[in-house]
Amino acid sequence: MTSNHPSDTPPPGPDKPSRGQTAKRVIYAVSGGLVLAVLGSLALDYGLAPGWLTGQGNTPTPAAKGDQAKLFTPPDVSTIPDDDFGQSVRRGMAIFNDTGTNAHDYVGNALNCSNCHLDAGRQAYSAPMWAAYPVYPKYRSKNKMVNTMEDRIRGCFTYSMNAQGSPTGGPPPYGSDVYRDLQAYFFWMSKGLPTGEKPEGAGFGKIDKPEKEPSLDRGAEVFAANCAVCHGKDGQGQKDMNGKQVFPPLWGPESYNWGAGMHKVDAAAAFIKHNMPLSEPGKLTTQEAWDVAAFVDSHPRPKDPRQVNGMTVEDAFNKLHHKHDGYYGKTVDGQLLGGGASPQSAGAPQQDGNSGG
Amino acid sequence: MTDKNKQDPRLPDETFEPYEANRRIPLPVYWIAIALAIWGVVMLVQTSHSTLLADKERAALDKQDVAANAPVGAEPAASGKTVFNANCATCHGEFGTGSVGAVPPLANSDIVKAGGAKLIAQIAMRGIDGPITVNGTTYDGHMPNFASALDDKEIAAAASYVARTFTGAKDGVSAEAVAEIRKASAGQDPWAGGAELAAATPGLPAQPSAPQAAADMVQNADVATLVSQGAGSVWSCASCHGDQGEGTQTVPRLAGLPAAYIAKQLHDFQQGTRENDSMAYVAKALTDAQITALADHYAVMRAPSGARPSLDGDLARGEQIAREGDWSIGVPACFTCHGPSGFGVAPDFPALAAQQPAYVAHQLAMWAGGSRHNSPLGLMAGIGKALNDADRRAVADYLASLPPVPATPKVELTAMRSDAQPAKETTNDQ
């Protein structure tokens, strides 16, 4: 094109702004920019910015940061003192982590304390011992009396550790070193927490009610997809080549009995929701946690040790279990639950007689 | 030209081009531009500041490390208690109680009382593979050998500590005596249970008879060729994984891994669910029968450790992650799932003990980045992401310091295969 075309000459634009107007605009522009920068940084600080912008949105954190900050951190194991008290703490920790060996005479199944109280009793929302120690002695409706920590541990042996099946047939006698060492361990772990106050992280935490009534069929699917790789298709856990129980059995003769807190579906659901699958807590939805908790509960397990003197399952149900959310006294697959668990009913052949010892 | 371009003024101007009035740039554009500029400057200042801080921190840490390492290096011999707690207590317990039904006790053990520290050193040097009776209870007896993991001084210290602390013995065993034992044990198989021990050591309590020497698994000539020479254009396993399946660098140790785990990995390489070009090429040339046979071959292989801590990892931190986990970052102990001392739990949880550290750290990083994604439930992805680079090196180095896993006993594998035989046709399809 040629350069001398008429349309090449720019048409007359609007009038040039006066000097005063330019200065005004510069002031508006700069102050507006400042305000925007300040607002932006404030929004970032208060966490109002969307995750895709900050790149922090999809990093999974087990619990919200605010919660983490509130949670008590128990002292490190390396700080256990190197004296007689420290020895007791260490023995207590050994009992906690390998209960069947170190409290052998009082354990009637293949479980350890640390199977449910994760991280050697230190993990929040898996009934950490630092959250329990400061609130005892306390009244418990389960046995209608004020319980000392010793009473409470005795209860754990009686039900969760199924002491009725142990070599002595019962929990450690009052005054046993087992209680002494375990309490030393709990006490050491709770250092600095106020007594009489329930700390955040106690128990298994809260879980919402499920939208739908828990279903055993859905639970079986959740179990097969998420639990069986560790706990086995038959729920009996897994052992290593030496026969050491690595993953705990969830039902059957080597698991907790019908008197244990974990047999209540709401308790199990809360534990599962906040802790399972291990290292991926929160993976299961609330509904899935309830479904699989119900499924686990719907299997045979050792009888409730309070069911004595010819008490039938029905009697025991009316006296002990009618308020509980569980499968005790119900019939599943033609089998009345609550009578106990024989090796056959666990669904797995258990050849070794010494594992429960 | 100009003539032709002249237009009749009555006609519409066909070359007219629209133009835009010279408007001012709206204020919000300035605002955003200025805000971005400010933000840029702030970020620059902040980053350079934190880089400076991080540099200082690193320098301080390096100094600390040097300070912390100096006394350890200067210590003449590790104390028996330290060696015991780091290497033996994972199975036998801090108080030597063992584990009921699985691991025999050392405390008040009749075998330790009768044989003393020398016998403990002899056992540690060869490991055990066969039933053993301690204090009247019989145990399966699969113990690793520590010959490739601990030196003479360390074995002497730990053996003396066990004899003195747990049975009140007066005498320990010297590092020189342990050196003799090492010579005598060279090339020997593990002790075939308590029976062989009792035959070699007078005064031991009665022991169960040794299991019948497993009829050697039918060693498929085909497999031997695959392992040592390869087939056709496919190179041999041993050319990378070593003659004894001990691995090197980022090539993993295979000896002693669960057969089902090895087979699954080979199938995953075949199908592309585990990515590695070399292994995909090899695996695609294998038949299902060959995969099963190769998996068995390596599962029963007992080989000394070919791994040494070599990534400059913090061993204490590695031990913490492996044995206790770091729950503040959501990482449970490795041993919670991979079994005490990292022996593995068949079929899904492979042995970790004596694995090549570069391989472990590399795989952890691959899980974190998503290029390895074939673990059950994706469990390892979350763990890989939670660990930082220093943690990955620390835990890899610690695992490399452990004695090799006692391999799956041939008898058990043979039994497993003969059980599975009738079902083979139905399970073979994928």
Q: What is the pLDDT of residues A75-133, one digit of tens each?
A: 998 899 999 999 999 999 999 999 999 999 999 999 999 999 999 999 999 999 999 99
pLDDT at B405: 86
Q: Which residues of B, range 101-120, sit inside 8 Å of A by Cβ? A: 101-103
CATH of the domain at B342: 1.10.760.10
Please give the interface size between A and B, counted as residue pairs whose CB atoms are below 8 Å apart. Answer: 170
- Domain C-terminal end among B305, B324, B357: B305
The boundaries of the domain holding residue B160 are: 80-200
CATH of the domain at A91: 1.10.760.10
The number of folded domains in chain A is: 2
Residues B301 and B331 both lie in one domain: no
The boundaries of the domain holding residue A87 are: 77-189
Alpha helices, H only, B168-306: 175-185, 193-200, 221-228, 238-241, 259-271, 277-284, 288-299
> What is the pTM assigned to this prediction?
0.76
Alpha carbons B107 and B114: distance in angstroms, whole number: 13
Residues A133 and A223 both lie in one domain: no
Assess contact for B247 and B356: CB atoms under 8 A. yes
Q: What is the pLDDT of residues B321-355, one digit of tens each?
A: 999 999 888 899 999 999 988 888 878 899 999 99
Contact state of B408 with A241 under an 8 Å Cβ cutoff: yes
To the nearest whole Å, the CA of B113 is away from the closest chain A CA by 21
Residue A13 lies in a domain: no
Residues B261 and B284 both lie in one domain: yes
CA atoms within 13 A on the CB side of A293: 30
Residues A159 and A234 both lie in one domain: no
pLDDT at B65: 57
Residue B163 lies in a domain: yes
Alpha carbons B328 and A258: distance in angstroms, whole number: 33
Residue B66 lies in a domain: no
Residue B310 lies in a domain: no
Judge whether B16 is closer than 8 Å to chain A, CB to CB: yes
- pLDDT in 10s for each residue of chain B, 430 residues: 455 556 676 777 777 777 777 777 888 888 899 999 998 998 888 888 888 887 887 777 766 655 554 444 334 446 888 899 888 998 999 899 999 888 999 999 999 988 889 999 999 999 998 889 999 889 988 898 898 889 899 999 999 999 999 988 888 898 899 999 999 888 888 888 888 888 888 888 888 887 665 555 556 667 778 887 887 778 888 888 988 888 888 899 998 898 889 999 999 998 888 988 889 888 888 888 888 888 888 888 888 888 888 888 898 899 999 999 998 888 999 999 999 888 888 788 999 999 999 999 999 998 888 888 888 888 899 899 999 999 999 999 999 999 988 887 776 777 666 665 444 333 333 3
- Domain C-terminal end among B279, B305, B331: B305
Residues A138 and A177 both lie in one domain: yes
Residue B373 lies in a domain: yes
Alpha carbons B316 and B395: distance in angstroms, whole number: 9
Residues B102 and B192 both lie in one domain: yes
Residues B265 and B350 both lie in one domain: no
Assess contact for A270 and A316: CB atoms under 8 A. no
Residues A304 and A244 both lie in one domain: yes
Residues B164 and B187 both lie in one domain: yes
Residue B178 lies in a domain: yes
Residues on chain A touching B141 (C-beta within 8 angstroms): 242
Residues A143 and A257 both lie in one domain: no
Closest of B218, B256, B243 to residue B142, by C-alpha: B256
Residue A154 lies in a domain: yes
The number of folded domains in chain B is: 3
Contact state of B337 with A30 under an 8 Å Cβ cutoff: no
Residue B378 lies in a domain: yes
Residue B23 lies in a domain: no
Contact state of B377 with A2 under an 8 Å Cβ cutoff: no
CA atoms within 13 A on the CB side of B285: 14
Assess contact for A207 and A294: CB atoms under 8 A. no
- Closest partner residue to A102 among B22, B97, B409, by Cβ? B97
Residue B9 lies in a domain: no
Contact state of A73 with B328 under an 8 Å Cβ cutoff: yes
To the nearest whole Å, the CA of B27 is away from the closest chain A CA by 6
Residues A90 and A163 both lie in one domain: yes
Residues B322 and B279 both lie in one domain: no
